[in-house]
Structure 1
Amino acid sequence: MYRSCSALACLALIAGCASAPEGAAPKSNGWMKDEVSDSYVFGYPLVLMDVSREAATGNGPGQAATNTLRHAQSLPPVGASSPPEPNLDALASSGWLDVSREPVLVTLPDTHGRYMDARALDMWTNVVWSTGAAQTGERVGGMKTQTIAFVPVGWKGALPARVKSVEVTTRYVWFLARIQTRGGGDLAAVRRLQHGLQVTPLSAWDDRAAHGKGGARGARGDEPGGATQSGDPAAPGTPAAQVATLDANGFFDRLAQALEDNPPTPDDPHALKILGDIGVRAGDPAQLPSGAKDAAVVKAGLADGRARIATPPPNLLAGNGWLWVGDDAGNYGPDYALRAYAAYTSPGLPTSRDEVRARVRQDSDGHQLNGANRYTIHFTAKQLPPVRGFWSITAYTSDGALDADAPVRVAFGERSGARRNRDGSLDVHVSAQRPRGGANWVPAPHGDFRLVMRLYAPKPQATDGSWQPPAVERQ
């Protein structure tokens, strides 16, 4: 219901904006601001992904070649801020696949009961495949060896036996995998599993590659550029900040070039017409209206679009101050507002079967969370996060970094010694200073901060609105 309402609103807006008949010059440019704004929201995920791909691929520091995975070798240090909200629960592997010439095969290892998830996103941030979609059990306990082939649309040919085929409509695919870790001495076991993650173009596939003994490509920690300090590998720097610096010509020119290799889904023909109205066509340099009056309107439309992607859309799930994306995560259809917001706040967001990522910035009284105070989150026995995997809560600074002054960096959760009360309830303590006894503690920055609750392999009630996280109560 949420998607259909949002989609209808979006399409109604676009239809209203495109009132000028084709082939006839509009008498005023009042339509232009809305069309630029709508087009910015529509194209933002593709531009962000294209900038991220360009920054992450190559032979420079922190980069890896296309069709190669780059593995995180350690949890992020105190003060880490790239990517925003770095993950403390898992080591991640990430790479950009190019399927323009042939299928690219990714092999996942047997994790021997250790939690692992993986997903692949097209260039519009839609999740085209994930381990969560294949999990049907009540509880997730690792995975077995498997190989997935990402196949260009329309490709005809034969794949190796027992390989799952996934058709992709964009040239590039962003692949991410995460393996759960407790840190410390446990990291070595995760690194060994990472070596079983392999990427192989079909032309290089052979029996040795199928058994993980060669032919596959992966950057290891002992190879140049193979290691990263992030739990979620991302392009060096901040791609979102790079996109934010683009003026209208820079943004739409980048969008036009990326559209040539990465067309949108068939749901989007009307949005492409709107792009054409403002002079943006796939493969051609953007030709935005350039008159002095028109340029001012284009600039205003760009500013409006930037504000919209940072504004929570009305179809987010909400409860007790927490916000999160529901069942539409990773599969947005024509809901451009939700897709852009998800890309802006959570690059690489999984589907609702893979992970729920809920955020809160205010306490139960509506005041900004701040490390000068102490807070408690009280879960009743029936309100504990509904997961098939596990869950955690992490505190970040207001800009999404780990506190540089924190004595420890911890994601508190189900697998980190949570102690329940006698009635089965759970009290989580959030503060800058360790509470008496030190149990169930989420270390918080000394200044303003936000909390992120991650539910790995969530149950349906976490994404259909029937479950809500409890409020953050100031003590």
Structure 2
Amino acid sequence: MSNITPQETKQIAEEAYIFAFSMLENYKTMYVQAINENLPTFRAPFNQFSHMRQLLGPEFTEVVGPNNDTMYSLAWLDLGTEPIVLSLPDIAGDRYYVIQIVDMYTFNVEYIGARTTGFQAGTYLFAGPGWDGPTPDGIDGVRRTEGRFLFLLGRTAVAGAADVPNVNSLQDQYTLTPLSAYLGQPAPDPVPAPDFPPYDPEKAASIEFINYFNFLLGQIELGPSERSLLKKWTMIGVQPGRPFDPQAMAPEVQEAVAEGVAVALQKIQTESRRVGRNVNNWTLIGEGFGYRSMLEGKDLLRAAANMVGIYGNNPEEAYNFSVFNDNDGEPLDASKHNYVIHFETPPPVKAFWSVTMYKLPRPLFIENPINRYSIGDRTPGFNPHEDGSVTIYLQHESPGPEKESNWLPAPDGPFALALRIYWPEQDILDGKWKPSAIKKA
């Protein structure tokens, strides 16, 4: 530490924290969902699925911006002892589904699902960095990861309440099996679970983040880019798998590191307000999510995207737009106006699209007389015009029986919308198709 100035220390801490932020957010989620069984957010132990079994409605307030199109299945994998085998059933009727695979850095590793592997049954092996065995018979693909832990986020399309039992039946056939059990062999001696540090948001936003960072880096087989960065970061105590004691630092060094963390957080917050691209007052969300090959080195963008909402999809899997203002730039407020969206051409998709209504300030579903929280090309009775264009009515009161099929009920007050496009066509990816601005009726 004596060879670097306080300003250099501050800059190193800033860089390290911006890199670490996405990993810290991922660890926070893993801790509350798969590690601390005493929390109400706990979902399931490692290597087990937790499934959403019902469609979400206005009573659901746990997470803002819920979706009404798919039912979630999530699992945290611990690959420390042996690989885990994922088995998926035949998905009949071309039902859209996807398993998003996310590593400890929050890079999307790969996708299994309708777009990438099709609708037929499949069996896939997930292996950690220490495994180098042969691919067993019956395995359709091997997914290797740099880290001990991996996140699987599944989404299965649901066509309303009547379809929920069908989705539940499919979820019951999403299975995770240790490789030894899959092969009918004795289980290997278990590798002990690491000593997971309890997640504390205040510590994660302070000089103490280095303790979490060291722990997480110790669970990963580091690549060339990370090893290169570590040459600098070791100067402030970043050492994979090693404990960190800030009191072992001189007071002026502690202060410089703390200042670097504060600057990093401010930069992430500022960048988070810029994430996305404005298209007719809709904001395209998702530019900070993707494969390592797309995002390596773009640490501030990734951190900002994960601050806005973690586990976003690659654009080729799903496009998400959000909107808070009409074409005049005024906030959407159904107590003052009725609105319409008119798509000359509906979103070109290979799966489906939907528009979801949220009340504000917390974006949640609203109670309404027709129990409709989203509308799109799968909505029963949805009625395009003869020329193929589509009009959606956004208002608190019914627009009348002849238009109710295309009515998305709004709260009697401010609201926001999300446009979700699943498996978009190339015209969307190229920016040739754009969502129309929302206009006052």
Residue of 78, 99, 108 corresponding to 2:79? 99
How far residue 167 of structure 1 moved from its aligned partner, in angstroms, is 0.9
| Counterpart Cα distance in 1 of 2:256 and 2:436 | 44
TM-score in terms of structure 2 length? 0.84
Match of 2:438 in 1: 472
What is the match of residue 217 of structure 2?
259
Q: Which position in structure 1 is the counterpart of 2:48? A: 68
- Deviation (angstroms), 1:404: 5.1
5 Å matches for 1:62-461?
62-113=42-93, 114-131=95-112, 135=116, 143-163=119-139, 164-206=141-183, 243=201, 246-263=204-221, 265-288=223-246, 297-310=256-269, 311-312=271-272, 316-325=276-285, 329-331=289-291, 332-372=295-335, 373-381=337-345, 384-398=346-360, 400-403=362-365, 405-407=367-369, 408-416=371-379, 417-436=381-400, 437-461=403-427
Give the alignment partner of residue 3 of structure 2, picking from 2, 22, 25. 25
- Once the two structures are TM-superposed, the CA of residue 248 in structure 1 deviates from its matched residue by 0.7
The letter of the residue matching 2:165 is A
Relative to the length of structure 1, the TM-score reads 0.78
Contact 2:207 2:261 in 1 (8 A): no
Corresponding residue number in structure 2 for 1:217? none
User: Once the two structures are superposed, what CA deviation does each residue of 1:6-44 show, in whole Å capped at 9, x if it has no partner?
Assistant: xxxxxxxxxxxxxxxxx75334x3344443333222111
Letter in 2 for 1:131: I
Distance 1:199 1:387, change over 3 A: same
Partner secondary structure for residue 390 of structure 1 = strand
How many Å separate the matches in 2 of 1:445 and 1:306?
Answer: 35
Provide the residue aligned with 1:234 in structure 2: none
Q: What is the identity, as a one-letter code, of the residue corresponding to 1:103?
A: P
The unaligned stretches of length 5 or more in structure 1 are: 1-22, 137-141, 209-238
How far residue 265 of structure 1 moved from its aligned partner, in angstroms, is 4.2
Q: Distance in 1 between matches of 2:390 and 2:209?
A: 47
SS in structure 2 at match of 1:97 = strand
* Matched pairs, number: 413
- For 2:263, give the aligned amino acid: D
Q: Structure 1 residues 470 and 294 mapped into 2: Cα distance closer, same or farther (>3 Å)?
A: farther
Once the two structures are TM-superposed, the CA of residue 87 in structure 1 deviates from its matched residue by: 1.6
2:196 aligned residue: none
Identity %: 28
Residue 366 to residue 250, structure 1, CA distance change in 2 (3 Å):
farther
* CA distance in structure 2 between the aligned counterparts of 1:35 and 1:406, rounded to whole angstroms: 52
Query: Which structure has more RCO (C-alpha within 8 Å, separation ≥ 6)?
Result: 1
Contact 2:87 2:123 in 1 (8 A): yes
Deviations 1:426-459, CA, capped at 9 Å, x for gaps: 1122233333332322333444332211111112
Moved more, 450-459 or 440-449: 440-449
Please say if residues 278 and 288 of structure 1, whose CA atoms lie closer than 8 Å, have aligned partners that are also in contact: no
Distance of 1:457 and 1:351 partners within structure 2:
10
Take 1:265 and 1:429, find their aligned partners in 2: how far apart are those partners?
51
- Report what 1:216 is aligned to: none
Structure 2 portions without partners, runs of 5+: 186-198
Q: Secondary structure at the match of 1:257?
A: helix
Aligned Cα RMSD in Å? Answer: 2.9
CA pair 162-30 structure 1, distance change in 2 beyond 3 A: same
Could you tell me whether the CA contact under 8 Å between 1:328 and 1:352 is conserved in 2?
no
**Cα deviations by residue, 1:207-248 (Å, 9 ceiling, x for unpaired):** 89xxxxxxxxxxxxxxxxxxxxxxxxxxxxxx9xx6477441
Q: Is the Cα contact below 8 Å between 2:68 and 2:373 reproduced in 1?
A: yes
How far did residue 411 of structure 1 move? 1.6
Query: Which one is further off, 438-447 or 255-264?
Result: 438-447
Q: CA deviation at 1:313?
A: 7.5
Higher mean C-alpha deviation, range 29-38 or range 345-354? 29-38
Q: Secondary structure at the match of 1:362?
A: coil
What is the one-letter code of the residue matched to 1:421? H
Q: By how many angstroms is 1:182 displaced?
A: 2.0
CA distance in 1 between counterparts of 2:426 and 2:245 reads 46
Q: Distance in 2 between matches of 1:341 and 1:193?
A: 35
Contact 2:365 2:373 in 1 (8 A): no
